[in-house]
Structure 1
């Protein structure tokens, strides 16, 4: 098995010290480095500890050597595409997310920046966590089995205000939603 600790840590923009500090209890950057490189055994206890710190499922930390996995080979900078010193595993943003249920909104008609054929992956959160979703696109259930979709612009008490993505549409207010799903990743075929 190959561990993907470094790939996940780097994709989150963390240093060895950041990950070491996020562990509970904290550890040293050297220990994290040894676990990443295989110089120290990655036990189940360490997998659980590192996964909790990175907010991912423990099984995401390892992958089979037989499985081909998408690789990040370059980055597009101001001066153009630049090769990475070494390819690294591409980790889906949805895998790095959190605990909430993943939902997918299939786009059939163009709305704002969304095109037909797009899939918008959203992560479900509790309404009381809505402050972290302000100015992000959300899907909210309404009474009668319908949904509201748009940019979350306000939350006051049990009222949630969203602005639909189409031009000239008015704010929609949903009272006491059961949950809010926050846009996490856009999948668009080219």
Structure 2
């Protein structure tokens, strides 16, 4: 199996040691290096451990022939743009199961017309993971609310509790939504530059 562990790790700006320490349970940088180079066989269990440590889906670590990649020409930081020290490429993002998208038809807040916001659906037990993030919340009659989740009150056995959202845009007032069945946390912004 050909993996893209090294490419994804480098794209995330992580060292072998950092990935090794993020694994559960932690491992050694040498082991991660061997898995990257193929000198050690990558099992499904290892693939899942490394994917969790990198914060990606395990499928993102498997290189398939038809999967497009783009060569990295430069890296940008506070000192400007520099050529990468080693050849690298980035892999086009792929959606996870259960994701939903929000399209921006008119600029509001940090978003511009034409943006796509990819969101990961969360069940009530995971709502706390979306605090201080932009979320999509379903409302009755096919309506939605999109804004920053700024607070959460615990629910009971029948519901997910109350969510406090700050809608996008200047002068927007906080809104409270009670017991939504799910929410979707914004995880990726796709923007075309013109």
TM (norm. structure 2) is 0.81
CA 1:92–1:132 in structure 2 vs 1: closer, same or farther (change >3 Å)? farther
1:74 aligns with 2:74: yes
Q: CA RMSD in A?
A: 2.5
Which of the residues 175, 180, 183 maps onto 2:178?
175
Unaligned runs of 5+ in 1: none
Unaligned runs of 5+ in 2: 155-160
* Residues 35-50 of structure 1 mapped to structure 2, 5 A cutoff: 35-50=35-50
Alpha-carbon distance in structure 1 between the residues aligned to 2:67 and 2:103: 29
Choose between structure 1 and 2: higher strand proportion: 1
How far the C-alpha of 1:101 sits from its partner, in A, is 2.4
The 1:167–1:68 alpha-carbon spacing in structure 2 relative to 1, beyond 3 Å, is closer
Separation of aligned partners in 1, 2:4 and 2:148: 34
How far apart are 1:94 and its partner, in Å? 6.4
CA gap of 1:88–1:182, structure 2 versus 1, over 3 A, is same
Aligned residues: 187
Given the two structures, how large is their TM-score scaled by the length of structure 1? 0.83
Deviates more, 1:12-21 or 1:104-113: 12-21
Q: The residue matched to 1:47 in structure 2 has which SS?
A: helix
Which aligned pairs between 1:83-102 and structure 2 lie closer than 5 A? 83-91=83-91, 101-102=98-99
1:118 to 115, 118, 122: 115
